[in-house]
Amino acid sequence: MTTMAAFTDICQWSSFHCQPSLMVPRITCTGNWNHHGLSSSFSWKLFCPESASFKFSSSRRLVARRSYVPKKGIQVVSPNIGSQTLTIEFLNAWDDEYGGVIVDPESLPSSANAFASTLKASISNWKLKGKKGIWLKITLEQADLVPIAIQEGFLYHHAEPGYVILTYWIPNEPCMLPSSPSHQIGIAAFVINDKREILVVQEKCPCSCPGVWKLPTGYIDKSEEIFSGAIREVKEETGVDTIFLEMVAFRHAHLVAFEKSDLQFVCLLKPLSLEITVDEKEIQDAKVPKTRYNIDEA
C-alpha cells in the first residue's frame, strides 16, 4: 500500500478544511461560538413587525431610545413608547459561521406559553436580520416545547437519548444545512495465527444462520478507532487478546439499520493469547479450526 503512505500528507492536510457545501455548526461545542448580545447596529426595524404579538399600533410614537433589562436566558428589549413600555423577548442565540443561529439550549423558557411567544418573536427577528439556518436543541426535560417548535415550522434534524435537535431554514431557497449522520461503522476481525489458522465464531443472534462459522464482527463505539474496535470485539466475543496488523478491505452497504448506510472494515489481527472464553450472551461457540488459510490462493 505504497500509495496510501504517499498520500497521507494530503489526506491530513485536507482534513483541516471544511466541506463547504454544508453548514455544520458545532452545536454542542458552545465554547467555540461567540455569544452575542444585541449588537450595536441593532435598530428598530428588528422589532418583529411580522409577529402579531409585537406589532406596534400606528398611533404609538416610537422613540429611538432603548433599555436592556437582563433576564436569565432571554434577551429583553424594552423600548419607551411615550409613557408606555413594551417588552419584547428573544431567545438567546449565537451566530454560527454560516450566517445561521444556534439557540442557547440553557436559556429556553420552561413555560410553554413563554417559549411560544419568544420563539415566534425570535424567528421574525432572525428573518429580518437575514439569518439562514436556525439550530434548536431541546432536552428530554423540555419535551413540552417540541410540539411548539414544530408548529412554528421547525423540522427534526437528529437526536441522542437526552435531546433532540431541530432546524429551521429561513432563506427562500433549498436548505443547505447538513443531513444527520449517515453511517454506522462496523468491523470484521480476521484473527490469524502463525500457523495460518483463523479464529471463527457462531452467533446466538436470531438473524444468523444456525451453525454458520464466521469472523467476529461488531460496531465500533462512539469516538473509537477502527483498529481498537476490532481488538475490543474479539476480546469481548472470544476472550482472545490480539494486536492489529493491517486493514485489508471494507464494504459499503446502504439502507441497513434505520435506512442508513454501513461501512464494515475487515481488520487483520494477530492473536496474543490462546484460551477462548466465549461471551455467552452473544456467542454460541468460538474456535480456531486446524485448517490453514492460504492468503495467496484466496
Q: Looking only at residues 134 through 153 of this chain, which bind its own copies when binding is defined by CB under 8 A?
A: 140, 143-144, 146-147, 150-151
Among 66, 127, 204, 235, binds its own copies (CB under 8 A): 204
Whichever of 111 and 151 has its CB closer to its own copies, that residue is 151
Closest distance to its own copies from the beta carbon of 56 (Å): 32
Among 70, 130, 181, 211, binds its own copies (CB under 8 A): 181
Joined together, the cell numbers standing for residue 283 give: 456467542
Which residues inside 37-96 make contact with its own copies, applying CB under 8 A? Answer: none
Which residues inside 210-239 make contact with its own copies, applying CB under 8 A? Answer: 212, 214-215, 217-220, 222-223, 225-226, 233, 236
Check residue 280 for interaction with its own copies (CB under 8 A): no
What size, in residues, is the chain? 298
Check residue 9 for interaction with its own copies (CB under 8 A): yes
Closest distance to its own copies from the beta carbon of 127 (Å): 20
Determine contact, residues 184/199, Cβ cutoff 8 Å: no
Among 266, 278, 286, 288, binds its own copies (CB under 8 A): 266
Determine contact, residues 103/131, Cβ cutoff 8 Å: no
Among 46, 203, 230, 234, binds its own copies (CB under 8 A): 203
Q: Contact region for its own copies (CB under 8 A) — 27-35, 52-60, 71-79, 120-128? A: 27-35
Check residue 296 for interaction with its own copies (CB under 8 A): yes
Among 76, 81, 128, 263, binds its own copies (CB under 8 A): 263
Among 194, 259, 275, 280, binds its own copies (CB under 8 A): 259
Kindly write out the interface string for residues 88-127 of this chain, putting x where it contacts its own copies by CB under 8 A and - elsewhere.
Answer: ---------xx-----------------------------
With the CA atoms of 150, 131, 93 and 69 taken in that order, what torsion angle do they form, in degrees rounded to the nearest 10?
A: -110
b/e 130-159 (16+ beta carbons within 10 angstroms → b): ebbbbbbbbeeebeebeebbeebebeebee
